[in-house]
Structure 1
Amino acid sequence: MSNASGARGVTVRIFLIDGTPQGLRTVDRTGWTGTCLTFARPGYAEARQRPEVKRTGVYVLVGRDENDTPRLYVGEGDEVRVRLDNHHREKDFWSQGYVLTTKDDSLNKAHVRWLEARLLQIAMEAGTATLDNGTAPQLPYLSEPDQADMEWYLENALTLLPMVGAPYFEILESSSATSETAVAVAAPEGSTYFLKTVLTEATGRDDPRGFTVIEGAYGRKEKKVMSRGYEAQRDRLIADGILVDHGTEQVRLTRTHIFDSPSSAASVLSGGSKNGRDEWKDAYGRTLKQNQERATEGAAP
């Protein structure tokens, strides 16, 4: 049964292998032969004994670089464990690992090479993390039936990864171009809100992952008094080229970006600490706070 937005519900199963949420986990969904093993780096000794890493599959390693920016590496292997052993010795940046394979070991070398290339395409377009891969391989040939099967596999895998801490393959819809080369996992549609002052003009949406501000937003270039956390976020966006100078008094958001809260979005753009629940307003002039309170009272937003 689908909901009002047309999206269908799915059943996802997360199995805590050692009974703790911080330990090894497998994630799968009903009607899909695939599975995802996720583990923190300190748990790799246990993870490498699992049957999932002894199969043909693709994997994602995630960590942070020296600027505290998300960094990831995508790879594949006939026996994933061989590649992971090497990365455990030689790659320092990663702190979390994800292995995508199948319960029946039905993926072959051509499948995983194709999946690796597709994941890298998507990660590059999403632009939410720095890639540790030196090169992005060309999409290899697959027969039409195999390609259709792998697209279905990928669609399921990309539904699961954000649930276990890897949202780096989600391509947000923006006001400009849309992708024709990658699987786009669009941000959930929510109410649209606006932030408008003398030097700030932005459009955003509140969704379960954070507060999404649409590409092309303008903010104040001059910084006022703001918290250290908001200032660090702003500096990081500038360093990554996501927030760039626009004239002498403004900055501009070069791509759609998810902030961790409405307040961080409003503060970064305005250059000073702001309460985002009061600053973001819908087309009727109602604040985000007012709409949230109306929703909890059972009123239509």
Structure 2
Amino acid sequence: MTQGRSIRLFLVDGTPNGLLTAEIMNWTGHVLTGPRSKLAELVQRPECARTGVYFLVGPDPDDSLRTRVYIGESDDVAQRLKTHNRPEDAGGKDFWERVCLVTSKDQNLTKAHVKYLESKLIGIAASAGRCVLSNGTAHEYVGLPESDRADMAFFLDQIRTVLPVLGFEFLRELSKPPAPVIAESVPIIERSPRFRLDIPKFGVTAYAQEIGGEFFVLKGSRTRKQWIGVDGGYQGLFQQLEADGVLIADGDEHLAFKDDYAFASPSAAAAVVSGRSANGRVVWSVDGTGQTYAAWQDQQLSALQPAPEDA
């Protein structure tokens, strides 16, 4: 079982949409994030005068369903952010709506450290494939001694832990569905069976599995050739997956998943497979039993033992 961790969040101005700081126990790192509308306040914070790495995050101008990210580093992040706030034709960046800055509480991060972190972070974000990167290709930075590289590996792990808690998912790797679990010692609630969705009339069959809070449609699963439902809803997601090559042609009548793909919900997955809106809790069923996803989930809840009442 993975060890639990504590993350300390602080709302600087007492509102959920303002500046926010985050720290992890026994980590020297410090995270500061906020909306672009609060930039004047953010750059006055002492963290912005330190050496650090930062992320500019916003919708991709070419596809609003996707997130665009720029990853940078500086000895004086405040000045760099002021430059990025200029219009595009003046050397700035227009797309970003939020900024996230990572520095060190003990101020031991050097220019070499943050250049190394920037290089690694760009590579991680590109590999994860959850965003459109404005940086282009990452250049491997090898100007650190071995001991410092080990320290920065730990620092990277903490960044990848805390950023998703703040709503930044672009560094999080897609977990792959595990091989089927046979050992009876593993509690059933920790296992997900394989789910199946059939549309016999149109020759559509898809398989899925739930892991880590995400609903994966498995490689090779078939979908309809095109979206046939009403405009809106998951239509944009269907078209995006086709444009990105996640869905590829499978004969004349179908598309198929090129690889396992994670969805936020069973209904999002069902809509893409069906080419129209669908209730994923009903149309997905346990392969081999026909039990719906909703019934399977209810069964897991029913199997839980009630917590003992305090004496």
Report the TM range for the smaller structure's normalisation.
0.7 to 0.9
Count of aligned pairs: 282
Alignment partners' CA distance in 1, 2:30 and 2:221: 39
Q: Is the 8 A contact 1:172 1:256 kept in 2?
A: no
Alignment partners' CA distance in 2, 1:73 and 1:261: 28
How far is 1:247 from its partner? 1.8
SS class of match (1:229): coil
Q: Provide closer, same or farther for how the CA distance between residues 14 and 50 of structure 1 changes in structure 2, counting only shifts above 3 A.
A: same
Q: Provide closer, same or farther for how the CA distance between residues 61 and 214 of structure 1 changes in structure 2, counting only shifts above 3 A.
A: farther
How far is 1:43 from its partner? 0.8
> Structure 1 length as normaliser, TM-score?
0.87
SS class of match (2:56): strand
Alignment partners' CA distance in 1, 2:81 and 2:219: 37
Map of 2:195 onto structure 1: 194
Matched, 1:16 2:16: no
Match runs of 1:59-74 below 5 Å? 59-66=54-61, 67-68=63-64, 69-74=66-71
Map of 2:264 onto structure 1: 260
Q: Provide closer, same or farther for how the CA distance between residues 255 and 17 of structure 1 changes in structure 2, counting only shifts above 3 A.
A: farther
Q: Is the 8 A contact 1:199 1:249 kept in 2?
A: no
How high is the sequence identity, in percent, across the aligned residues? 40
Structure number with larger C-alpha Rg: 2
Matched, 1:99 2:85: no
Alignment partners' CA distance in 2, 1:26 and 1:223: 42
Matched, 1:248 2:252: yes
Match runs of 1:203-282 below 5 Å? 203-205=208-210, 207-208=212-213, 210-226=214-230, 228-282=232-286
Alignment partners' CA distance in 2, 1:215 and 1:171: 17
> Structure 2 length as normaliser, TM-score?
0.84
**Consecutive unaligned residues in structure 2, runs of 5 or more:** 87-91, 179-189, 306-311
**Consecutive unaligned residues in structure 1, runs of 5 or more:** 1-5, 177-188
Q: Is the 8 A contact 2:285 2:293 kept in 1?
A: yes
With 150-159 and 287-296 compared, the bigger mean Cα shift is at 287-296
Q: Is the 8 A contact 2:177 2:209 kept in 1?
A: no
Match runs of 1:106-185 below 5 Å? 106-174=108-176
RMSD of the alignment, in Å?
2.1
Q: Is the 8 A contact 1:203 1:213 kept in 2?
A: yes
Map of 2:187 onto structure 1: none
Map of 2:83 onto structure 1: 86
Q: Is the 8 A contact 2:195 2:293 kept in 1?
A: no
Which letter does structure 2 place at the counterpart of 1:293? D
1:29 to 24, 27, 35: 24
Alignment partners' CA distance in 1, 2:144 and 2:136: 24
Q: Provide closer, same or farther for how the CA distance between residues 297 and 194 of structure 1 changes in structure 2, counting only shifts above 3 A.
A: closer
Map of 2:295 onto structure 1: 290
Which letter does structure 1 place at the counterpart of 2:194? Y
Map of 1:76 onto structure 2: 73
Q: Is the 8 A contact 2:206 2:217 kept in 1?
A: no
Question: Segments of 4+ in structure 1 off by > 4 A?
Answer: none
How far is 1:171 from its partner? 1.4
Deviation sequence 1:194-250 (CA, Å, 0-9, x none): 223232323231543x43334443322143335621111111222222222222122
Q: Is the 8 A contact 1:200 1:270 kept in 2?
A: no
Q: Is the 8 A contact 1:64 1:93 kept in 2?
A: yes
How far is 1:175 from its partner? 6.8
SS class of match (1:245): strand
SS class of match (2:106): coil
Q: Provide closer, same or farther for how the CA distance between residues 256 and 14 of structure 1 changes in structure 2, counting only shifts above 3 A.
A: farther
Alignment partners' CA distance in 1, 2:191 and 2:12: 35
How far is 1:78 from its partner? 1.2
Map of 1:186 onto structure 2: none
